[in-house]
Amino acid sequence: MTTLADPITRTRRPAATNLIQKVALCLAVLLAGAAILAPLIAPFDPLDQSLIARLRPPLGFDRYSPGHFAGTDELGRDVFSRGLYGLRLTLALAFCGAVIGLAIGGLLGLVAGLRPGWAEDGIMALVDMQIAIPFTLVALLVLALLGSSLTVLIFVLGIAGWEQYARIVRAEVRRLASQPFIEAARAAGGDTAYIARRHLLPNIVSPLVVQFTLALSNIVILESTLSFLGLGVQPPTPSLGSMVGLGRDYMPTAPWIVLIPAGLIVLLTFTVQILGDWLRDRADVRLRDR
Amino acid sequence: MAAYLLRILVKMVITLFAILTITFIATRLSGNPIDTFLGEGLTAEGRATLIAYFQLDRSLWHQYLAFLRAAASGDFGLSFVERRPVTEVVAHRLWPSAQLLLTSVGLTLLVSIPLGVLAAVYRKSWIGSVVMVVAFAGYAVPAFILAIVMILVFSYTLNWLPVVGNGTAAHFIMPTIALSGVLIAALTRFTRNAMLDVLGQEYIRTARAKGLSEFWVVMRHGFGNASITVISVIGLQIASLAAAGSVVVESIFSWPGIGQLLVNAAIVRDYPVLQFGVITVAVAVVLINAATDIAYALADPRIRLAQS
């Protein structure tokens, strides 16, 4: 960025904030890389049990079992490898969920924005309802009834945040619809689908990217919470939330079983939120001087 | 004002109706409930009797009407596990949940409103930055991790606080903090943003120009107006966040409230309890939302004095 191009952000953004964002960006790359490359990096199979090496502490403590940097859990499984695979699954689930939410919410928001009248009223009533009903409860109900398969979990995570996308897209479409260039496109003979694809979508990408990032961190929290409660990812498949949930009983003697996945979750949500906030500040001119 | 109240009432009724419908559809999504929940060890004859008893051989529409009729008369069925009416099972859980909610909302208000005001007034100094970092952390750390770390430190390591139950005042400390974390983060941000919006207004400059003390300007003219926005957030966001959070916090601390009941019911698939528990919490959230809307109307002279 040149010094002249963006005087507002240049003057209002202290150096410390930039440093935090750079660190967050590096962490994001690191976490995503670790998740994608988990099968290559992990020193052990996350499901391999070893009765001799149960509940061994991490590197640097007494009774350390060579190779298990982060210690082992109650079944002798390598906590570091499980953490990597858990991170992989958590990120994959969050990503799928956020994409589904984006698809449902984006489409409904687009329809609501383009078709004022009963379609818009109906969709916005659904949005209001989704906001009024605490979603964790709906998730509990659905998971208990349909069982906690990964498919159901992805579906639940997908509908967790669709209403935010719908609201954003509708508002943006409504704002854009009155702009001269849309009118011009219409006058030139473009039909609604063409205008939506060619002129509206490119203009709402930036708020959608922001919302996608913020939703990602919310979905990570929701997924790990459900898995922690025993309603999400089922054992023996490692997920960060279920590692904390199952390791809880061993916490007094073997806190690393819990602290390592918990630390990874917090690192993940922090990183994603910092990036999301940063993107939002960049996208929203009003917030630049705050 | 009357029209405004009427609109709140209509919205409330529609949402309640939607909640009943959603829980009905959700319980029917999995096919025949008898097969799902009473599957094994049931004779063909017994199965037929149960299906007839629960009217599952009738059309879905008929079942829905029967469900609404039963709901209207307060009959939500028996718990599969406890063999008692679910209304009774849930009723026992209301007060502990309400207690935890009250202490948490109390703590949230005590902490986040002063913090939010401070962060807005000192937004350019380190005070503002520190407050926002704290608020940010509260948002990024899930309640269950906050709870687990507190248990590790204050119970297992220091032996200061009890983990399980709600017997004494000491039992309230950790669950209240765990539940408040995300609430404090949310409300601090909202208070700060509402204050910033208000402090940028012309009437604040007028108040300063009149020679009022800065404290008076901020509290009377600043927060007095920002509080209207803050009230609306308390209802909309806090009620929903608290309902979600209490599910987690109560089950970690074995708090005998609705949240713990719901998680246990979900795990053993006691679906009448789950259904009624969800309805109860959702109704509570809707009522809190409606109450906030009314409080909002009373606090905002533009609505209070509007001629309908």
Mark whether B170 and B39 lie in a shared domain: no
Q: Return the pLDDT at B293.
A: 80
> Which comes out higher in pLDDT, residue A276 or B107?
B107
Mark whether B136 and B165 lie in a shared domain: yes
Q: Do A137 and B289 touch (CB under 8 A)?
A: no
Residue of A nearest to B290 (CA): A132
- Asked whether the beta carbons of B184 and B104 are under 8 A apart, the reply is no
Q: Return the pLDDT at A7.
A: 41
Q: Decide if B68 is inside a domain.
A: yes
**pTM of the predicted protein model:** 0.84
pLDDT tens for A188-231 read: 888 888 887 788 888 888 888 888 988 898 899 999 999 998 88
Q: Decide if B83 is inside a domain.
A: no
Mark whether B155 and B59 lie in a shared domain: no
CATH code for the domain in which residue B254 is found: 1.10.3720.10
Option in A245, A252, A266 nearest B156 (CB) = A252
Q: Decide if B219 is inside a domain.
A: yes
Domain membership of residue B258 as a residue range: 93-268
Mark whether B154 and B216 lie in a shared domain: yes
Q: Do B263 and A131 touch (CB under 8 A)?
A: no
Mean pLDDT of B30-41: 60
C-alpha distances out from residue B168 to A140, B150, B255, Å: 30, 18, 12
Mark whether B98 and B70 lie in a shared domain: no
Provide the number of structural domains found in chain B.
2
- Nearest CA distance, A30 vs chain B (angstrom): 19
Q: Decide if B241 is inside a domain.
A: yes
Q: Decide if B25 is inside a domain.
A: no
Q: Return the pLDDT at B306.
A: 66
Share in percent of chain A as helix, strand, coil (round to 5): 70, 0, 30
Mark whether B40 and B168 lie in a shared domain: no
Q: Decide if B15 is inside a domain.
A: no
On the question of pLDDT at A5 being above 70, the answer is no
Option in B142, B247, B266 nearest A144 (CB) = B266
On the question of pLDDT at A234 being above 60, the answer is yes
Mark whether B143 and B259 lie in a shared domain: yes
- Asked whether the beta carbons of B265 and B27 are under 8 A apart, the reply is no
With both helix axes pointing from N to C terminus, report the angle between B239-252 and B170-199 in degrees, rounded to the nearest 10: 160
Q: Which of B145, B157, B236, B269 to mutate to test the interface with A (most CBs of A within 10 A)?
A: B145
pLDDT tens for A35-92 read: 888 888 878 788 777 777 777 788 777 777 777 777 787 787 888 889 899 999 999 9
Q: Return the pLDDT at A4.
A: 43
Residue finishing a domain among B21, B49, B75: B75
| Every domain of chain A and the residues it spans | 76-289
- Asked whether the beta carbons of B238 and B291 are under 8 A apart, the reply is no
Mark whether B45 and B163 lie in a shared domain: no
Mark whether B119 and B66 lie in a shared domain: no
Mark whether B56 and B152 lie in a shared domain: no
Q: Do B244 and A136 touch (CB under 8 A)?
A: yes
Mean pLDDT of B140-164: 88
Q: Decide if B80 is inside a domain.
A: no
C-alpha distances out from residue B107 to A213, B164, B175, B178, Å: 30, 21, 12, 11
3-class state of residue A78 by DSSP: strand
ipTM of the complex: 0.81
Which residues have a Cβ under 8 Å from the Cβ of B163 and sit 6 or more positions away? B151, B155, B174, B253, B254
Mean pLDDT of B100-117: 91
Mark whether B227 and B145 lie in a shared domain: yes
pLDDT tens for A121-176 read: 888 888 877 877 778 888 888 888 787 788 889 999 998 888 889 988 888 888 88
Which residues have a Cβ under 8 Å from the Cβ of A15 and sit 6 or more positions away? none
Option in B18, B141, B247 nearest A266 (CB) = B141
- Which class is A76-289 in CATH? mainly alpha
- Asked whether the beta carbons of A53 and A65 are under 8 A apart, the reply is yes
Q: Return the pLDDT at A67.
A: 73
- Nearest CA distance, A187 vs chain B (angstrom): 40
pLDDT tens for B266-304 read: 888 787 888 888 888 888 888 888 888 888 777 777 777
Which residues have a Cβ under 8 Å from the Cβ of A201 and sit 6 or more positions away? none
Option in A131, A135, A230 nearest B244 (CB) = A135
B125 contacts in A (CB within 8 Å)? Answer: none
Mark whether B156 and B238 lie in a shared domain: yes
